[in-house]
Amino acid sequence: MKRFLVAIILIAVVFAGISCSKSSNSSNLQTEIIGKWSMTAQRANEGWVPPDNPVTYEFKEDGTFVRTDANGETQGTYTISNGQITLNSNGSGVTFDANINGNELQLNNADTGFKFTKVQ
């Protein structure tokens, strides 16, 4: 009976640790993404390649972003949940798995992927 109780407690601790780390990661992502990011690579059939045109994203604390490219600026909103970011602009949205490691941001989904370096 003691072994069964110990096993149940260990399982509960493991699940508690997993759920805490997910919210902690999203919380870190929420603060670490604030700033301006310059695209350094995009995923293509042949792997990671330099972007065709310079693109920057500026993520603001109020949940808005500004995307700047050769065609000008596009504004929108973003939300972060469970390690994913959803970008909404002009009535449509796209969701990416998001990962920040130091000053490197990587956004990936089933269709595409992008790498950025933080510039501000």
Instruction: CATH number of the domain at 33, please.
Output: 2.40.128.280
Share of the chain above pLDDT 70, in %: 78
Confidence grade of residue 113 (pLDDT, cut at 50, 70, 90): very high
Beta strands, E only, the chain? 35-44, 47-49, 56-59, 64-69, 72-81, 84-89, 92-101, 104-108, 113-118
- Looking at residue 35, its pLDDT comes to 97
What is the residue range of 81's domain? 2-118
Q: How far apart are CA 89 and CA 84, in angstroms?
A: 17
* Window from 1-10, 27-36, 91-100 with minimum mean pLDDT: 1-10
65-96 pLDDT, tens digit per residue, is 999 999 999 999 999 999 999 999 999 999 99
- Using a 10 angstrom Cβ sphere, with 0-12 exposed, 13-18 middle and 19 or more buried, the burial of residue 9 is exposed
The number of domains in the chain is 1
Neighbours of 73 (CB within 10 A): 10
β-strands 72-81, 64-69: how paired?
A: antiparallel
Is the pLDDT at 33 greater than 50? The verdict is yes
- Looking at residue 25, its pLDDT comes to 59
Strand partners, 56: 38, 68
Cα 83 to Cα 12, 86, 106, 110, distances in angstroms: 22, 10, 11, 15
Q: Look up residue 81 and give its two tokens.
A: 């949940």
